[in-house]
Every structure is written in structure tokens, then in C-alpha cells.
Amino acid sequence: MVNKMNTETFLKVEHLRKEFDLKVPWIEAIFKHKKKTVKAVDDVSFEIKRGETLGIVGESGSGKTTLGRTVIRLIEPTSGKIIMDNTDLTELRGEVLRRARRDFSIIFQDPMASLNPYMRIGKIVSHPLKIHNIGTKQERKEKILSLFEKFNLTPPGEFYNRFPKYLSGGQRQRVVIARALITNPKFIVADEPTAMLDVSVRSQILKLMIQVKKEFKLTYLFITHDLASAKYICDRIGVMYLGKIIEIAKKEDIFKEPLHPYTKILMSAIPIPDPNVKREKLMPKGEIPSATNIPKGCRFHTRCPFAKDICKEQEPDLRNVNGRLVACHIV
Amino acid sequence: MAVLSIKNLFIEYQIKSGAVKAVEDVSFDVEENESLGIVGESGCGKSTLGTAILRLLPQNAKITGEILLNGVNLLELDNESMRKIRGKDIAMIFQDPMTSLNPIMRVRDHFFELFKVHNPDIKKNEMIKIASEALESVGVDPKRLNNYPFEFSGGMRQRVMIALAIALKPKVLIADEPTTALDVVVQEQIMQVLKNLMKTKNMSIVLITHDMGIVAEMAERVAVMYAGNLVELGAIHKLYNKPMHPYTRMLLESIPNIKLDDMDLKFIPGSPPDLKNPPRGCKYYPRCPFTKDICKKNDPKTKKVDSRIVKCWIYGE
């Protein structure tokens, strides 16, 4: 899928953290100096090369959405660096940050909730152009119409004047992608762009995303819980669990030989659309713990079928195992 | 004899600008202790069908045909008798566990409400006993009866929903996209719960879903719906190995898989028809690669071909 992969690093995320403060009863806050925080993203580092797609997979509550939003400063990071194209995004403020935003964008999960129901499609898509003062009114309209044509939102003129409620789920998601691309960004965070769509529409949207990636020379951070979708679009995949990346490797490696027990569980949980295949399923114990109370030691040890004593004591770092990065004592 | 038998069911929604034909001439049986999958794209009428079986459709839905539960036509019952059947003989779990539990009621009150409808004189001890058993059978600690729904995670809420549905040991459980709102690991856990219940409780399951993977793992027979029609019905292995209807074939081909050597993203071109104004003839012909002249003119009849039901002109008159 990737023919000429550039080796130049486009995005570098270093020790990124995002903690949300929770309410503590005031008496405890004052007298006991108690503070309760949710560590949604807990010391995450990774790189994305120019033109590459990095997938982030994990369960609900693993912090993957927070990570995606923090990377493009829709959420302020607690600490860490986000270096995009040699600029540290965490140091940008005010107008400078606003201007920088034309270079990156996001596709949200729910196309029903991410389009303003009182705005016509044309206005929704031209909004980013207006904010960044790009083109005249006429030029903007032409640009949008040609994009609609390319996205199979035809006839484009009709879609331009429609309200979101008259569009199907797939069409809405196309509008969301058009809006994300209208300022010619270099980087897109796609936050579960196909989770709310039907199977056949899902493939159409994935195909469109692969096509525009080539055309617009984009770099993607693709967040999903659906490993099957990740297979088609990602070059590398990072697996997140409770705010940390626990394994990151090339797509082929993850699918052929997942190393971390959690990755193995994720892989075996995917239903296989073939009644002739009966598999031994690997199941985790219980449910994902709360991010306010992350287990000591390896954060997965409470559910891991292979946990040993050391897992309860020591937190494993992301280390190199045969050229792959994995955070597990057992591997 | 079949536990549940649907005969020539038609459902129309009356709206201002006309009638939406959501379900058209659908017939099938659900045998005892069987799991039947109903699959199709959004808007194919599968949820309408499931909801109609419990007679929970909105006022503007017009139903004709027969829904026989142990030989009794549910469509002829008055509201009070229907209430007695819901939850006891036939129950349903819904897609979204966040919105199907009452946020200001404790979990135990959900159970108590259900039990009192079917037996006004029931004692509290007994109610707690039945509720605890139901919760245990789906892997929830009975101590949590006193919790409110917001104290549960999505997966746990769906377990509570299942426990509520099976508490009175219904003969038929209708599961409408029971795992769609959950992620893969939790989905797998919920499927295990359902499989276990099928084995231990002697219950039939009608599993409504758009996920062909889940059906492959759960169901014994599959019904494929398209634009309100049942286009194919057959045993799971036969249907997956050799789909007969062109739509079934496309649907199976368009599932994303996790095989690395298959990177071709297939999808069904076009979109399902507008059910207010469906095409004449076979409803699938605008998207079908095998369209013949007759497909555009006449709607094919439902035929039985080699122990399978299929609705397509390819298989003759």
C-alpha cells in the first residue's frame, strides 16, 4: 500500500501525559491535600514518519481518544512534547497556534454529532477556510464543489445547500472528511471514523481515506478499536491499555505474531466470519480497571492470564524485543 | 413444533408523505433451543421485525400477518395479555445498554418491577433470590443489585440487561444488536454469556446484527434481509460456504477480515433503496451484478432450493 515510504520523521511525541483532575470532597482537599486524577494518557512516546499511518487500538477507556485529541492540542497536555514538522506544538500559544491548525485536523467518530444541524453543508465545510482567510467566497465555493465531486457527493451543488439531517451516515462522514481536508492539512487524526457506520459503508469510507491520503500526501493517526479496519489502512499499530502504549510494531508483525498478552487477547476476540473456523479464545479476567486507580506494577497484571509475581511489583518499560517494542516481563 | 413462527408478516410505517414498507412478506420459524441470526444493512427492517415480535412498535406501524408463539397469534392478543407474555415467554435485549436501563432506578428495582407485573403477590425474598440467580448466570455479582445503572460499565450494563431478559426463563430471547455498542473484548465476553445461556436454559435466541462475524460464531441458521425482504435463509455452514442470493454473496465478501494476504477492500456499490418508493421488481436489482430483464419487471417469489429459502430470479420461476 505504501510505495515510497519517506524515512523522515513527521511527528514525534515524547513523554506525553494528560491527567484530568477529579472532584474531591473539599474537606479532604483542604485538610488532607488529597488529589484524585485520571491518568488518561500516561507517558506515551511515539514517532510517525511522513506519509505513514499509525494505528492506535485499544478498548474503550484505554485513552486512545484523549491521546488523539491531545496530539493536536484540542486537549491541553499535562506534560510532554509534540513535535510536528520540527515545531513543538506544546509551545505555541494563541494566534500562532490558531494559524498552525490549518496544517492538522481531525475526523470525529460520530458524523451525526460533529456536524452542526443548523448549518448547511457548504457553510460547514467552508468554515475552516473562512477562519484561516483562504480565498475569496467564490474560490472557496469552487474548491468545495470540486472536493464534493471527488468524494462522490453528487450533484455537488445540491449537497452544498443541504442540511446534515438529509444525508445518510456515509455521506455525512464524507462531509466530515471533506471539512478536515479543505485547508490542505498535512496531518489527520482519525478518531474511529468508521465505528458508527454499516459494514459496506465502512469499506467505502476506508477506501476514500486511503485514496485521499495519497492525493493529499497525508500522515494519519488512525484511532480504532476495530483491528480489521486497522489492517487495511495502517502501516504500524500501537496497542494502548490504560493510558500506555504496551506494544507498537509493524502491522504485519502485530497480525502474524502479537507479543503482548493483551494484544493476543484483542486479536483473538475478533469474530471470524467463517462458521468452519473454531478457535480457542483467549479471554482476559474481568474488566478494564478504572484509570483513577491504575494497578501497581504492570497495569495489565490484574487481567493477564500469564501474570507472574514480578508483574505485580515492577512496571515493565517499552523495550526492544527482536526489533519490536513491547512492554511485558514475560515476552 | 416451532416455538416462534412468523407467517407472511408485513409492516408499514404510516408517515406524512406516504407509507414506508419496512417489512414485506417475511415468513420463518424458530425451533426450540435454536439460535437464528437475522442480518442485513441498516434500514433493512431487521430491528423492526424483532421489535414487532414483542409488539413494541410505535402507533404508526401497521402490522399484518401472523406471529405465532407456541401456536398463539400475538397480533390478536389485547394489550393486557401481551404484557403478561413479554418478559415471561419472550424477552428482548436492546442495542444500547446506556439508554435501556432507567438511570434513577436501582438494578434490583428493575427486576422487582418485572416480577410484580407477572406475579403481584410475589415476596421480596423470592424476588431477590430470582434476581440474584439471573445476575449470577451472566457473571455479575448479586451484591450489585443495590447499585444504580451509572455505577456499571457498558459491558456490565449489557449483562444486567441480559439478566433482566432471562430472569423469568423465557422460551425466546430476541437480541437486537446486543454487542454493537461494546468493544471487541467485552463483545466476546457477552457472546460467551449468551452461548452459555443457550446451553443451560433451553432457550431459543433470535440474534439481530449487522456483523457477519458474530453470526458465524453464534447462530445455527441465518436469515438475510434486504430492503424489508427476506432474501435468503439457510443453515449457517451452507449459507457461508455457498451463498445463493447475490446480495448474501456481496455481504459476505464485504466483511473486513484479518487475513494479511487479503488487502482488497470490497463493498456493495450503491445504497439500499428508499422504502417509501422502492424499485419495481426485485428490490436488489439496481445493485445486483446479475440483473436480467425479468428482475426489473417482477418481484421474485420466495422459493425453496435445496433446503434453503431464497428469493431471486436466478433460481428459476
| Cβ–Cβ gap B185/A252 under 8 Å | no
Residue B313 lies in a domain: no
* Domain boundaries for CATH 3.40.50.300 within chain A: 9-241
- Does residue A249 contact residue A236 with C-beta atoms inside 8 Å? yes
Q: Do A273 and B257 touch (CB under 8 A)?
A: yes
Q: Which three cell numbers stand for residue A7?
A: 524515512
Helix (H) or strand (E) holding B82: helix B79-85
CB contacts under 8 A, B 79-138 vs A, are: none
Contacts of A233 in chain B (CB under 8 A): none
Cis amide linkage into residue A155, ω under 30° from 0:
yes
Contact A225 B184 (CB under 8 A): yes
Q: What is the pLDDT of residue A83?
A: 95
Using the beta-carbon criterion (under 8 Å), do A59 and B210 form an inter-chain contact? no
Distance from CA of B117 to the nearest CA of A (A): 33
**Residue B217 at interface with chain A, using a CB cutoff of 8 Å:** yes
**Nearest chain B alpha carbon to A231:** B258
B4-14 pLDDT per residue, tens: 999 999 999 99
Of B198, B187, B270, B226, which is closest to residue A152 (Cα–Cα)? B270
- Taken in order B128, B129, B130, B131, the sign of the CA dihedral is positive
pLDDT at A3: 44
B261 touches chain A (CB under 8 A): no
State the pLDDT at residue A280. 76
Cβ-defined contact of B240 to A273 (cutoff 8 Å): yes
Interface contact B208, partner A, CB < 8 A = no
Residue of B nearest to A270 (CA): B184
C-alpha neighbours within 13 Å on the C-beta side of residue A125: 32
Inter-chain touch B184–A266, beta carbons under 8 Å? yes
| Domain-embedded: residue B312 | no
What residues in A contact B41, CB-CB < 8 Å? Answer: 198-200
Closest Cβ opposite residue A269 in set B184, B255, B263: B184
pLDDT under 70: residue ranges of chain B: 317
Q: Could you tell me if B185 lies within 8 Å of chain A, comparing CB atoms?
A: yes
The one-letter amino acid code at B1 reads: M
CB A19 within 8 A of CB A37: yes
Residue B314 resides in a domain = no
**Contacting residues of A for B256, CB less than 8 Å apart:** 199, 202-203, 206, 226, 228-229, 231-232
Contacts of residue A30, Cβ cutoff 8 Å, sequence gap at least 6 = none
Task: Output the CA torsion B80→B83→B85→B90 (10° steps).
Answer: 150
- Rounded to a whole number, what is the distance in Å from the CA of B266 to chain A's nearest CA? 7
Distance from CA of B68 to the nearest CA of A (A): 30
How close does chain A come to B180, measured CA to CA in Å?
A: 9
Which of B36, B39, B47, B185 is the best residue to mutate to test the A interface, defined by the most A CB atoms within 10 Å of its own CB? B185
> How close A165 gets to chain B, by Cα (Å)?
16
Neighbouring residues of A104: CB distance < 8 A, sequence distance ≥ 6: A72, A84, A185, A186, A187, A188, A189
C-alpha cell at B230: 427476506
Minimum CA–CA partner of B250 in chain A: A200
Whether B309 maps to a domain, the answer reads no
- Closest to B194 in 3D by CA, of B221, B224, B161: B161
Across the interface, do B183 and A225 touch by the CB < 8 Å criterion?
yes
Amino acid residing at A45: S
Chain-chain contact of B256 with A199 (C-beta, under 8 angstroms): yes
Q: How many CB atoms lie within 10 A of CB A106?
A: 22
pLDDT of amino acid A1: 43
Pairwise CB contact (< 8 Å): B263 & A232: yes
Q: Which helix (H) or strand (E) holds B155?
A: helix B154-166
Partner-chain contact A231 B154, CB within 8 Å: no
A321 Cβ under 8 Å from any chain B Cβ: no
Q: B220 CB near a chain A CB, below 8 Å?
A: no
Which chain B residues touch A199 with a CB distance below 8 Å?
41, 210-212, 251, 254-256
Nearest CB to B213: which of A229, A256, A273?
Answer: A273
* Interchain CB contact of A198 with B (< 8 Å): yes
CATH number at residue B156: 3.40.50.300
The number of C-beta contacts closer than 8 angstroms across A and B is: 121
- Of the partner residues B41, B191, B252, the one whose CB lies closest to the CB of residue A273: B252
- Exposure string (b/e) for B120-145, b if CB count within 10 Å is 16 or more? eeeeeeebbebbbebbebbbbebebb
Does some domain include residue B317? no
Residue B146 domain flag: yes
- CA-nearest residue to B41 within chain A is A198
Q: Is residue B285 part of a domain?
A: yes
- The reply to whether residue A168 touches residue B236, judged by beta carbons under 8 angstroms, is no
CB B51 within 8 A of CB B57: yes
Q: How far is CA A293 from the centre of its chain?
A: 24
Q: Which domain holds residue B133?
A: 4-304
ipTM for the complex shown: 0.81
Q: Does A228 contact B256 at a Cβ distance shorter than 8 Å?
A: yes
Beta sheet of B172-176, edge-to-edge order: B90-93, B172-176, B204-209, B35-39, B221-226, B229-235, B308-310, B303-305
Contacts of A229 in chain B (CB under 8 A): 256
A131 vs B179: CA distance, rounded Å: 41
Name the average pLDDT for chain B: 91
Non-local CB neighbours of A310 within 8 Å, separated by 6+ positions? A297, A329
Give the chain A residue whose CA is nearest to the CA of B151: A290
Asked if residue B66 lies in contact with residue B75, where contact means CB atoms within 8 angstroms, the answer is yes
Which pLDDT does position B156 carry in this prediction? 87
B181 contacts chain A (CB < 8 A): no
Fold classification of A9-241 is: Rossmann fold (3.40.50)
Note whether A257 contacts B: Cβ–Cβ < 8 A. Answer: no
pLDDT mean values, one per 10 residues, chain A (331 residues): 63 95 80 82 94 92 92 95 93 92 92 91 95 94 94 91 90 94 96 84 90 94 90 94 94 93 91 83 82 90 92 92 90 82
Task: Give yes or no for B240 touching A (CB within 8 A).
Answer: yes
Please state the domain count of chain B: 1
Residue ranges in chain A assigned as alpha helix (H): 26-31, 64-71, 94-100, 121-131, 137-150, 156-160, 169-181, 199-216, 227-233, 251-256, 261-269, 309-313
